[in-house]
């Protein structure tokens, strides 16, 4: 089943573009000028459109496609296999950037829903993790959002300097549908997450890759009637206890964790002190009665010392 999309911001889908068009843009040069030396990338079948340096197929980016729908390259390789990732890493290296994080996913909707075929998806995730380890790409940012991934209902809200940001308003979210004849509970999602982690963490440990799960975005216990399980600080404590492993950790997305707790610095110290923050998103969210518009860090509610954030990373 192709999942319904709550967000309205993804560009139109379409056939993946040729690798010839996946070239560094002027934004890469600007990043270097700002002192950026490390890169976060989606998988190579997430080609940017000519007008923007961003993926054009968000269903693929978040693992919502089936294995049969994912395109292979001219050699028959999956986008997450060694040869494909090696080409991506080489393109970043040519621009003076070290590829450090993959924030994208092979198909894993059957994993999230606990459906037949999840073992085949887990096998391909293992292929990706081994390739990442061989290439020295040390962190995989993934999510466990079933049916719909991150949700936005507004795409062009003006903020500082005329920048446009996204926003979310729960009243505008439609009901979401599960596959026919299926029910999904919070307990079932936790069982599916345990099944997944028990099988991929040994592979990640052997490969030297860390799994940094992203919070539910936005952090709600349900979205369109579908349960979600990673939306409180206590949920992340449970995640770490669910499958103890040096490779099991989290993405400290300031915007989402800032909505979960009034003590974000304390939460950063809590997980950072355990060495479990493998990746961070620096962003802010303005909580209002109408919804949650995104903001630059420090523009809304979050003021995090760089020293605190740096100390949280292993």
The CATH code of the domain that includes 165 is: 3.20.20.150
Local confidence band at 10 (pLDDT 50, 70, 90 cut-offs): very low
Half-sphere exposure of 181 (CA within 13 A, CB side): 1
Per the structure, the complete domain to which residue 50 belongs is given by: 19-312
Cα 218 from Cα 127, distance rounded (Å): 30
36, two tokens: 């950026």
Average pLDDT rounded to a whole number, residues 31-56: 70
So what's the pLDDT on residue 207?
98
Cα 232 from Cα 238, distance rounded (Å): 10
Q: Of 157, 158, 28, 153, give the one whose Cα is nearest residue 99.
A: 28
| CA dist 238 → 12, 15, 91, 249, 294 (Å) | 37, 39, 38, 11, 27
So what's the pLDDT on residue 6?
45
Is the separation of the CB atoms in 217 and 62 below 8 Å? no
Is the separation of the CB atoms in 56 and 50 below 8 Å? no
Prediction pTM value? 0.82
Cα 194 from Cα 188, distance rounded (Å): 10
Residue at 1 is within a domain: no
So what's the pLDDT on residue 131?
98
Average pLDDT rounded to a whole number, residues 292-309: 53
Is the separation of the CB atoms in 215 and 229 below 8 Å? no
Q: Which pLDDT tens digit goes with each residue over 161-171? A: 777 777 777 77
Residue at 13 is within a domain: no
Residue at 284 is within a domain: yes
| CA dist 114 → 60, 186, 214, 229 (Å) | 19, 12, 19, 15
Cα 42 from Cα 44, distance rounded (Å): 6
Instruction: Report the number of distinct structural domains present in the chain.
Output: 1
Average pLDDT rounded to a whole number, residues 87-109: 93
* Cβ count within 10 A of residue 237: 14
| Lowest-pLDDT range of 69-83, 229-243, 261-275, 289-303 | 289-303
Residue at 265 is within a domain: yes
Residue at 6 is within a domain: no
Residue at 241 is within a domain: yes
Q: Which pLDDT tens digit goes with each residue over 59-80? A: 666 667 889 888 888 888 899 9
Residue at 9 is within a domain: no
Local confidence band at 48 (pLDDT 50, 70, 90 cut-offs): very low
Residue at 192 is within a domain: yes
Percent of the chain with pLDDT strictly greater than 90: 47
Q: Of 103, 109, 11, give the one whose Cα is nearest residue 68.
A: 109
| CA dist 199 → 64, 184, 246 (Å) | 20, 21, 14
Inform me whether the pLDDT recorded for 112 exceeds 70: yes
Inform me whether the pLDDT recorded for 151 exceeds 80: no
């Amino acid at each position: 089943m192709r999942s319904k999309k709550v967000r309205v911001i993804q560009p139109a889908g379409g056939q993946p573009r040729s690798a010839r068009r996946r070239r560094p843009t002027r934004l890469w040069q600007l990043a270097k000028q700002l002192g950026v030396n490390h890169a976060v990338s989606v998988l190579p079948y997430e080609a940017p459109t000519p007008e923007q340096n961003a993926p054009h197929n968000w269903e693929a980016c978040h693992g919502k496609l089936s294995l049969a729908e994912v395109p292979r390259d001219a050699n028959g390789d999956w986008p997450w296999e060694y040869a494909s990732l090696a080409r991506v890493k080489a393109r970043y290296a040519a621009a003076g950037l070290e590829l450090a994080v993959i924030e994208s996913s092979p198909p894993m909707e059957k994993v999230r829903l606990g459906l037949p075929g999840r073992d085949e998806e887990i096998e391909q995730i293992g292929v990706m993790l081994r390739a990442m380890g061989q290439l020295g790409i040390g962190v995989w940012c993934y999510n466990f959002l079933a049916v719909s991934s991150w949700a936005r209902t507004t795409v062009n809200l003006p903020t500082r300097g005329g920048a446009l940001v996204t926003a979310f308003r729960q009243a505008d979210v439609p009901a979401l549908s599960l596959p026919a004849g299926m029910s999904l509970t919070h307990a079932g999602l936790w069982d599916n997450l345990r099944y997944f982690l028990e099988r991929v963490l040994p592979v990640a440990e052997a490969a030297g890759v860390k799994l940094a799960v992203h919070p539910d975005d936005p952090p709600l216990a349900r979205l369109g009637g579908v349960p979600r399980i990673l939306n409180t600080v206590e949920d992340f404590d449970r995640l770490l206890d669910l499958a103890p492993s040096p490779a099991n950790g989290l993405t400290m997305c300031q915007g989402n964790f800032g909505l979960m707790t009034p003590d974000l610095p304390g939460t950063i110290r809590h997980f950072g002190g355990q060495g479990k923050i493998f990746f961070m998103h620096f962003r802010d969210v303005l909580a209002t009665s109408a919804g949650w518009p995104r903001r630059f860090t420090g523009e809304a509610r979050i003021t995090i010392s760089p020293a605190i954030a740096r100390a949280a990373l292993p």
